[in-house]
Amino acid sequence: MILTRRWTLLAAIGTVTLLGATGCSAPEKSSPAASDASTPSGSITVYNAQHEELTQAWADEFTAETGVTVTLRNGDDSELGNQLVQEGSASKADVFLTENSPAITLVDQAGLFAPVDDATLAQVPEQLRPSTGTWTGIAARSTVFAYNPSLLSESEVPDSMLDLADPAWAGRWAASPSGADFQAIVSALLELKGEDATRDWLAAMKENVVVYKGNSTVMKAINAGEIPGGVIYHYYWFADQAGTGENSANTQMHYFKNQDPGAFVSVSGGGVLETSANPVAAQAFLAYITGKGGQEILKNGTSFEYPVSDSVDANPALVPISELDAPVIDPSKLNSTKVTDLMTEAGFL
């Protein structure tokens, strides 16, 4: 029938037009460096679990210096880590940046990283990167107990994070267990105290804790007097203090120290994917963020995380990292999958 043929033609034209239109808007694949193999050029895609604002500042400055276009895919540590593992060799990612170590270790253990350039590794002290050399620390953050002094006197603040499992703390402390930050703290606990102790602690925590979504929200609730205290990272407090202070003015921070699991210093990681289509630019980006320029942005910016470079001191407002008396943990030993399983088992996920 003529009707059929014409319709086929019309629809075919429509389909082609559509595919053309939508295809054009897809992002271009990163292109390899042009002529000089050592000069970064083209574009890279960064799977970014770090704070968007910080990575965007890095990306903008890096682009200004090198001309390399940086596209961010923002997500959470474990989400992007697991995503990279599933994507495998087909991944469009060139660089992976995390907030904590477990997720980057997951990708590392799947053998997806290329070795980090030696010059980059040399910029970062050994204790802030894994022994494998397949990724490096890019920033660090300390666990703290934030509390509202009008609800909790200094003497009532727990000595150890483990004390929060005590029934006396029922309904009196907050956390964001669905976030990668808290899961990293649990991974440190797992590494330090073992699986059984961690399972017990999480079960007790399930009874006691008031769950919020996001560390900022935890701090906001403490500040508003909704809850006496909570486990968060240090920089949320400093960032808010540097701004309006509206979510932290009524709060104080307690550092657990004494190599307590709650004194855990979490290393944010960065690595270059083995399958990167533009390894030169990807390595250059990692070298940039761990170098003086990138770490200065970290220090002077609004993130208030600890720099990992020897050449850049921490923001003077922060308690020096050497005084935190953190437990010694090889970041590449932290196991995100086990932690997720334990937290699912405890009913947090």
* Contacting positions for another protein (CB under 8 A): 1-4, 6-8, 10-11, 14, 18-19, 21-23, 25-27, 45, 47, 51-53, 71-76, 78-83, 85-87, 90, 92-93, 178, 180, 183, 211-214, 216-217, 220, 224, 226, 247, 340, 343-345, 347-349
The H or E element containing residue 285 is: helix 279-290
Q: How far is the CB of 169 from another protein (least distance, A)?
A: 19
- Of 108 and 260, the one with the shorter C-beta distance to another protein is 108
Q: How far is the CB of 245 from another protein (least distance, A)?
A: 13
Q: Within 209-275, where are the H helices?
A: 215-223, 234-242
Q: How far is the CB of 347 from another protein (least distance, A)?
A: 4
- Of 129 and 141, the one with the shorter C-beta distance to another protein is 141
Q: How far is the CB of 166 from another protein (least distance, A)?
A: 22
Q: Distance of alpha carbon 123 from its chain centroid, rounded?
A: 20
- Of 51 and 299, the one with the shorter C-beta distance to another protein is 51
- Of 120 and 215, the one with the shorter C-beta distance to another protein is 215
Q: How far is the CB of 328 from another protein (least distance, A)?
A: 26
Which DSSP symbol is given to 323? G
Q: Nearest-CA neighbor of 336 among 92, 36, 46, 107?
A: 107
- Of 32 and 214, the one with the shorter C-beta distance to another protein is 214
Q: Assign 3-class secondary structure to 45-87.
A: EEEECCCHHHHHHHHHHHHHHHCCEEEEEECCHHHHHHHHHHH
Q: What's the CA gap between 249 and 237, in Å, rounded?
A: 9
For the chain, first and last CA: distance in Å?
58
Q: How far is the CB of 43 from another protein (least distance, A)?
A: 10
Q: Nearest-CA neighbor of 97 among 273, 219, 284, 332?
A: 273
Q: What angle do CA 104, 107, 113 make, to 5 degrees?
A: 100
- Of 9 and 34, the one with the shorter C-beta distance to another protein is 9
Q: What are phi and psi of 286, to 5 degrees?
A: -65, -40
